[in-house]
Amino acid sequence: MKALIKRLKQKFNISDPMYQRDNEVFITVKKEDAVSFITHMNKVEGFTHLVLLTAVDWLEDGKFQLTYLLNNNMEKMDVGVQVFLDREQAEMESIHHLWKQAPTYQRELKEMFGIDFPGSPRIDEPFILEGWQEIPPYRRDFDTKAYTEETYFPRPGRKTHDPAEYMKQKLYPEE
């Protein structure tokens, strides 16, 4: 693993790696170099398996973080590639020419987070939600409790029989 990191540092401008385990490491890459970095890992270094592609919503920093988890089956190594995107203009180059399962991940990210991958096949088809008209639901500024109470008729009368609540009601009735 250390030899791999040394090789990569010579070629690309990557950050310091964060070691999760002995054979699993997370590297942060800039958005412009990301696709060429991943292509290099796929073709040259032997990381031929794309395990997953997910996103994290950093609301306070105003960024989306994409994580590509790559796996090298021969040497049993995992490398996670983290890419930071701007939250207002969430766009990223597509990697559908490298793996056949990438378009499905990208479709889900477009529907749930709103991150666009121009050029990916079938990117605009709905994945799970049909006829969704609000903001993408996995964003942290989407209040799902308020949406539920307004759209689906909640049944009134959810009582609680928690003893702590009961004692609190009894001892401090005015709160």
Size of site (CB under 8 A) for other proteins: 18
Q: Which is nearer to other proteins, 156 or 173 (CB)?
A: 156
Mapping DSSP onto H, E and C, the string for 6-23 reads HHHHHHCCCCCCEEEECC
**CA atoms lying within 13 Å on the CB side of residue 41:** 30
Q: Which is nearer to other proteins, 30 or 140 (CB)?
A: 140
Minimum CB separation of residue 106 from other proteins in Å reads 21
Looking at the chain, how many residues does it have? 175
Q: Which is nearer to other proteins, 12 or 138 (CB)?
A: 138
Is the distance from CB of 93 to CB of 117 less than 8 angstroms? yes
Q: Which is nearer to other proteins, 22 or 130 (CB)?
A: 130
Is the distance from CB of 85 to CB of 31 less than 8 angstroms? yes
Residue span 77-116 as binding mask against other proteins, x where in contact by CB under 8 A, dash where not: ----------------------------------------
Q: Which of 18, 52, 59, 128 binds other proteins (CB under 8 A)?
A: 128
How far, in Å, CA of 120 to CA of 103, rounded? Answer: 6
Phi and psi at residue 144, to the nearest 5°: -75, -25
For residue 136, state whether it binds other proteins (rule: CB under 8 A). no
Region from 82-90, 98-106, 140-148, 164-172 binding other proteins, contact rule CB under 8 A: 140-148
Phi-psi map region of 62: left, alpha, beta (phi>0 left; psi -120 to 50 alpha): left
For residue 167, state whether it binds other proteins (rule: CB under 8 A). no
User: What is the contact surface with other proteins in residues (CB under 8 A)?
Assistant: 128-133, 137, 142, 144-145, 147-148, 151-155, 158
